[in-house]
Chains A and B, each alone.
Chain A
C-alpha cells in the first residue's frame, strides 16, 4: 500500500546532485506530496531560478519512485512561496558543515562597511576570522570564502531571504 509516509521515506534517499549529503527535504526543496486525480504529485520548488540541478532532482525523484513500483506519479514545480535558506533543516545544516560547506549565517559583522557583513565561521577549524573571496561561488547557492586562521578555502551556502 502506497502512502504519503512511504513516499516521503523513499524520497529521504533522493539527494541534491551538487551537495550529495542533503536530501531534498533537508534542503527545503521538497514542498508537498499529495494524491490528486489518481496520481501522486510531488511538489518541489527551485532554490535559484536558473539552478541546473532542478531537472536532475525531478528525474531522480521519478526514478526513485518508479524503481519502487510507484508509476502514477508526476513532479510539479512551484515558484511561490519562494524558497529561502530558512527552510534548510537543522540536521541539514549540521550535515553541510560536516561536508565542508559553511551553512547560512545571520550574525552581522558591524566592523565592516560593506562587502562582507556576515560572520561565517570556518567549517574546518571553527575560526571566526574568515573573509569573503566572492559573493558568487561554485554554484548559484554558494559564496566563496577563505579562513584566515587555517587558510582553508571553502564554500558558504549563502543566506537567501
Chain B
C-alpha cells in the first residue's frame, strides 16, 4: 500500500459516516413526528453518500480493487475504525439528537479544514460534505436548545443523553503518530484546532439549552483501533446480512 496513514485516516472518516448513517436509518418509520422521520433519514442519506465517496477513495489508496460495497459489507467488526460515539444505540429522540449534535459539531470544523487539504480527492469530498454538514449541525443545535430549554421532561432526557454520551467525545479528537505525519505534510488538520472550535460550539449551545456538561470527565476509547462496544456487532449483523447470506448478490 502506497500510503497506509492516509488509508486509515480516510477509512475512519468513511466508517464514522457509514455507521452513523446506518443508525439514523433505523429511525425510518419510527420518528416521533413525520418531519423528523424525514429529517433523520435525509441526514442518514447524506452520511451514506459521504461514506460511499470516502470508502471508494480508501479502496483506491489501498489499491486492492475494493470499492465502497466491499469495505462496507465485507469486513469484520475489529476492522471498522469508527468512533465509539457513532455506534451507540439510538435510545430516545434526545439520545439520537445529542449523539448527532456532538458529532456534527466535530465534523463541520473538520471538513472546513479538510477543504484545504493538499490531497485533491480528500479536499473534493470535504468540499461536498461540508455543505451538507452545515444543514445537519443547524438542525441538531436547534433541537438541543429546544429540548434542553423546553419542558421539564425534555430537559431531563436531554441532560441524561449528554451525561451518557459525553464520555465518548474525547475519542473523536484522538490522533495516532501516523496522523501527525499527515498533519506535517498538510494533508489533514491538527485535531487540537478542531477541538477548540468544537468546544466553543458545544459550550455555546449547551449554555443556551440550560444543559450542564458532566464534571466527571472519564473517557472511553477503542473504536479507532477496532475495539468496539458490544453494540457494533448487532449493527453490523443487520447491515451485512444480505451480502453474508447471499455472497455477491446485486440489488
Contact = CB atoms under 8 A, between A and B. Distances in A.
Interface of A: 46, 48-52, 78-84, 114-115, 133-138, 140, 144, 158, 160-161
Given A80-B128, A136-B139, A49 B38 contact: no
Contacts, number: 72
A140 B45 contact: yes
29 contacts: A46-B49, A46-B128, A48-B46, A48-B49, A48-B132, A49-B49, A49-B53, A49-B128, A49-B132, A51-B45, A79-B53, A79-B124, A79-B125, A79-B128, A80-B120, A80-B123, A80-B124, A80-B128, A81-B127, A82-B127, A82-B131, A83-B128, A84-B131, A114-B142, A135-B39, A135-B139, A136-B38, A136-B39, A144-B38
Given A80-B127, A115-B142, A135-B135, A51 B35 contact: no
A80 B128 CA distance: 7
A79 B129 CA distance: 10
Contacts of B132: 48-49, 140
Contacts of B46: 48-50, 140
Given A49-B49, A51-B49, A81-B127, 6 more contacts: A49-B46, A50-B48, A79-B124, A115-B142, A134-B39, A135-B138
A138 B34 CA distance: 11
Interface string B159-185: 000000000000000000000000000
Given A48-B45, A136-B139, A82 B128 contact: yes
B102 to A, nearest CB: 19
Given A79-B124, A80-B123, A137 B50 contact: no
B142 A49 contact: no
Nearest to A54: B49
Contacts of A78: 124
B43 interface: yes
Given A115-B142, A135-B139, A49 B39 contact: no
A134 B38 contact: yes
Query: Chain B interface: which size bin?
Result: 20 to 34
Contact of B52 (A50, A80, A158, A160): A50
A137 B38 CA distance: 7
B129 to A, nearest CB: 6
B7 to A, nearest CB: 19
Of A49, A81, A82, A144, most B-chain CB atoms within 10 Å: A49
B42 interface: yes
Nearest to A77: B53
Nearest to B138: A135
B147 interface: no
Nearest to A52: B45
Interface string B10-53: 00000000000000000000000001101100110111111011
A136 B43 contact: yes
Contacts of A136: 35, 38-39, 42-43, 135, 139
A50 B131 contact: no
A12 to B, nearest CB: 26
A50 B39 contact: no
A50 B47 CA distance: 7
